[in-house]
Amino acid sequence: MRVLLLYSNQSRELVPAPPIGLSYVATATRAAGHEVRLLDLAFADDLPGELGRAIDSFVPEVVGLSIRNIDNVIQQRFDSPLQALQEQVALIRRKARTADGRPVPLVLGGPAISILAEAALPLFGADHAVVGEGEETFPALLAAIARERPPAHIPGVCYWRDGLPVRNPAQLIAGFAQSGMADWIDWRHYEHAGGTWPIQTKRGCPLSCVYCAYPLVEGRRFRQRDAGEVVDEIARVLRDVGPRTFEFVDSTFNLPARHAIAICEEILRRGLKANFTAMGINPLDVPAELFPLMKRAGFNSMMITPEAACEAMLDNLGKGFTMQHVERCCERARNSGLKSMWFFMLGGPGETMATCEESIRFAETRLTGWQFTSVFFTGIRILPGTTLARLAVERGYLAAGTDLAHGHFYLSPEIDEATVLARIHEAVTRNPSIVQAAEGGTSATQHALYRVLRLLRVAPPYWRFLPAMLGFPPLRFLRSRYPSVVAGKPLTALYET
């Protein structure tokens, strides 16, 4: 079958995200004997036009649409691709037709679809959806479509039955290898935008964070790749593509720490010269040798996800570690010399003004200097299927049956949003490396800095230079005196939204 796989994520909240998940599916679908085209529209200036032309030239028999994000998960400047995606679906339905004029089957997939599950079918008007990993499920679904049989026994498929959307339970694959992404995308676009090449070393997460949907997407059991196989993939991509930086995109790169250590040791053993970063460092398991070893292996930065800096909220959010772990992680990060971006979420169940103060004070006083950037979210996105969604209903915060495909956020009734936002701004005046997610996306000043860094062939991620930029005296003064310069609207307007 001719299968068109579409990736249209144009979000620029931090850096452009390449389609690693869809590349895994494309590689598996091609191996199953299908003719596959992956259409990457992440940088398209005329997305509808390019999509329409691709459909006309390729004449697909099945279209798969990968949806990465439900929205940007920021309450104060909420943004959702829902309408744009529905317009893309309408275009696909209008243009992609069988010989007798019927719309070809449309299959949805991606992280957002794994969260929405069967609710995605009526939302987008699709025929099928794949929940969880698609490497085995999608080819099996294509076989069922070709034989005109219902997918009633294919794990992880959502479909229509008697006019209602239903879901088959998902089944995790035994293992996975390299993504094959180099076969499917033009890396030059991502390189120019400061992107990093994604590498996945494991799937699954056994943690119980109340807000997190990762276990819904990848399961609750770690499935780890052999360190040698991971480094084989890095060496191959380095030779064939040559990205400036590789990013380990596991939900928690360092859990368990011995797996991360084995990968770093294998990189060093082979003498591989490359730059690395990691999007998920969990404070739970940070042995003394981890960060120094990462730095020796070529890491230039890492993202660290405590989400809170007080015992009560670490417990309420189900983080599975304590402030002792957070303090130790902070100290070891500072000693390593690696640059790190720390993430905090205020407003979860049981949050009070006192607990907000503890977390803000930690970032204000401990995460200082050129090594650290702190990002604060106020209000937590309630995702379907999470413990937070259940708690929101049990505590009367949301009505049962609320459609969580549309933006709903948990903000503890014990805090005042305006006061919290003002307190974070006060912390910014004392520690300029603190950022409110509400402030806005990448600024014009950041874009200018990033252009210079690209011209100088500096390895990304470029967010690691934010502390130096934000500490620049003129910009520091403007952020301190005029919050709207960064936020895009007056602080009083933020309070009213």
Pairing of strands 157-161, 128-130: antiparallel
Rounded CA-CA distance 359/364 in Å is: 9
Q: What is the pLDDT of residue 491?
A: 42
CB atoms within 10 A of CB 420: 23
Q: DSSP states of 403-437 as a string?
A: -TTS--EE--TTS-HHHHHHHHHHHHHH-TTEEEG
pLDDT in tens, 349-376: 999 999 999 999 999 999 999 999 999 9
Residue 484 has pLDDT above 60, yes or no: no
Rounded CA-CA distance 246/237 in Å is: 10
Rounded CA-CA distance 112/119 in Å is: 11
Segment 194-214 shows an average pLDDT of 96
Domain ranges for the chain, please list them.
2-167, 194-496
Kindly state the helix (H) or strand (E) to which residue 64 belongs, with its residue range.
strand 62-66
369: closest CA among 345, 333, 329? Answer: 333
Q: What is the pLDDT of residue 428?
A: 94
Judge whether 433 and 374 are in contact, CB under 8 Å.
Answer: yes
CA angle (90, 38, 193) in 5-degree steps: 95
Rounded CA-CA distance 164/408 in Å is: 25
Rounded CA-CA distance 290/439 in Å is: 33
Q: What is the pLDDT of residue 441?
A: 60
Q: At what angle do helices 20-31 and 137-146 cross, to 10 degrees?
A: 50
Q: First vs last Cα of the chain: how many Å apart?
A: 49
Segment 241-249 shows an average pLDDT of 97
Q: DSSP states of 158-186 as a string?
A: EEEETTEEEEPPP---S------GGGT--
Q: What is the pLDDT of residue 368?
A: 97
CA angle (444, 457, 477) in 5-degree steps: 35
Rounded CA-CA distance 497/493 in Å is: 6
Q: What is the pLDDT of residue 446?
A: 74
Q: Please state the CATH superfamily assignment of the domain spanning residues 194-496 in this structure.
A: tm_1862 like domain (3.80.30.20)
Q: What is the pLDDT of residue 492?
A: 41
Segment 118-132 shows an average pLDDT of 97
Pairing of strands 197-199, 128-130: unpaired
- Asked, as a colleague might, if the bond just before 256 is cis with ω within 30 of 0, I would say yes
Q: What is the pLDDT of residue 442?
A: 62
Q: What is the pLDDT of residue 449?
A: 81
Portion of the chain with pLDDT greater than 90, in percent: 86
Cβ-count burial of 94 within 10 angstroms (0-12 exposed, 13-18 middle, 19+ buried)? Answer: exposed
Q: DSSP states of 101-123 as a string?
A: SPBPPEEEESHHHHHHGGGHHHH
Kindly state the helix (H) or strand (E) to which residue 54 belongs, with its residue range.
helix 47-58
Portion of the chain with pLDDT greater than 70, in percent: 96
- What's the chain's average pLDDT? 93
Segment 333-342 shows an average pLDDT of 98
Listed in sequence order, the DSSP H helices in 431-481 are 444-455, 466-470, 473-481
Token representation of residue 93:
């339905």
Q: What is the pLDDT of residue 438?
A: 83
Residue 497 has pLDDT above 60, yes or no: no
pLDDT in tens, 373-402: 999 999 999 999 999 999 999 999 999 999
pLDDT in tens, 416-475: 999 999 999 999 999 999 999 887 666 667 778 888 898 899 999 999 999 999 888 888
Per-residue pLDDT band at 414 (split at 50, 70, 90) = very high
Rounded CA-CA distance 252/57 in Å is: 41
Q: What is the pLDDT of residue 496?
A: 35
Segment 171-196 shows an average pLDDT of 95
pLDDT in tens, 250-309: 999 999 999 999 999 999 999 999 999 999 999 999 999 999 999 999 999 999 999 999
Strands, DSSP E only, in 238-338? 245-248, 275-281, 299-307
Q: What is the pLDDT of residue 483?
A: 60
Q: What is the pLDDT of residue 490?
A: 36
Q: What is the pLDDT of residue 280?
A: 92
CA angle (373, 379, 381) in 5-degree steps: 100
Selecting from 1.20.1740.10, 3.40.1370.10, 3.40.50.720, 3.40.50.280, what CATH number does the domain 2-167 have? Answer: 3.40.50.280
pTM of the model: 0.94
Token representation of residue 340:
């790190």
